Structure 1
């Protein structure tokens, strides 16, 4: 009888280890969030969505990746000279969730803005310039990323 109790106790003690290893083996949750409007409300909604997703999976001790993809008028979100949410972007990237969120800036849009404005368009250092925002979003979806448009 004691042997059975010891085996039962050992099984109970080891059960959390087994579930932790299962969580470690899971693929990360991944979401791409589109921003194509020069509207601070839309930008803040995208940042709220990103924050909520990250906090949800952090609370479950599960990995998550977020890519906020901007193009067209939405590129203003990542412009160093015109972003209405620049401070919030820096806090989200550097302080709150390092390594969990990426900002993708469309180079096609950047080049178009530079041609129209006749000057270089500065992109925030926290952003990654991608050849095409639309193509970036397509490729993420082809790799199994979820898609959100606020």
Structure 2
């Protein structure tokens, strides 16, 4: 029977441990299964602000995709945010469309649709807001999910670990 000197055994162990760690990023741990969870709060009427929010979300999901990070990004629309989820001008409501929105609506709706359809960003609308202005569900853009209360939904998502972002 052949026995290896003690230093060879140590070297073999060190080599085995080193090879088993190749490919692991710094800080890799049991948390690698975590999903990046982010909720954006949209309760404003300004189309420039909405455009900035869409840019922020696109940049975020592009980063996650480039880094191969799973993500769950949602936008919860409340109050004036409903303006960005329908082509209805919402006349006779507090959320009535204005010239600034009319000018940018096609661009904004296209970008929002791409985030939902291509990037899998979830769109959630407060049903209290929708029902208070009697907007038919069929007038909402495809992919918009109704939640009973937008603020309750945001609180639930934060309790589940979602990061909260509101573009100012």
If the TM-score is normalised by the length of the shorter chain, which range does it land in?
0.7 to 0.9
Alignment of 1:1-150 (within 5 A): 11-19=17-25, 22=29, 25-82=32-89, 84=105, 85-95=108-118, 97-98=119-120, 101-114=121-134, 120=136, 122-150=139-167
Q: Kindly report the root-mean-square deviation, in angstroms, between the aligned alpha carbons of the 2 structures.
A: 2.7
Instruction: Evaluate the alpha carbon distance shift between residue 64 and residue 74 of structure 1 in structure 2; reply closer, same or farther with a 3 A threshold.
Output: same
SS of equivalent residue, structure 1 residue 69: strand
User: Do the aligned partners of 1:23 and 1:62 also contact (CA within 8 Å) in 2?
Assistant: no
CA distance in 2, matches of 1:142, 1:27: 16
Greater helix proportion: 1
Q: Check conservation: 1:30, 1:146, Cα contact below 8 A.
A: yes
- The unaligned stretches of length 5 or more in structure 1 are none
Query: Are the counterparts in 2 of residues 35 and 42 from structure 1 also a CA contact under 8 Å?
Result: no
User: CA contact under 8 A between 1:30 and 1:66: conserved in structure 2?
Assistant: yes
Unmatched runs of 5 consecutive residues or more in structure 2: 1-6, 90-100
1-structure distance, mates of 2:30, 2:51: 31
Rounded Cα–Cα distance in structure 1 between residues aligned with 2:158 and 2:31: 23
Aligned length: 143
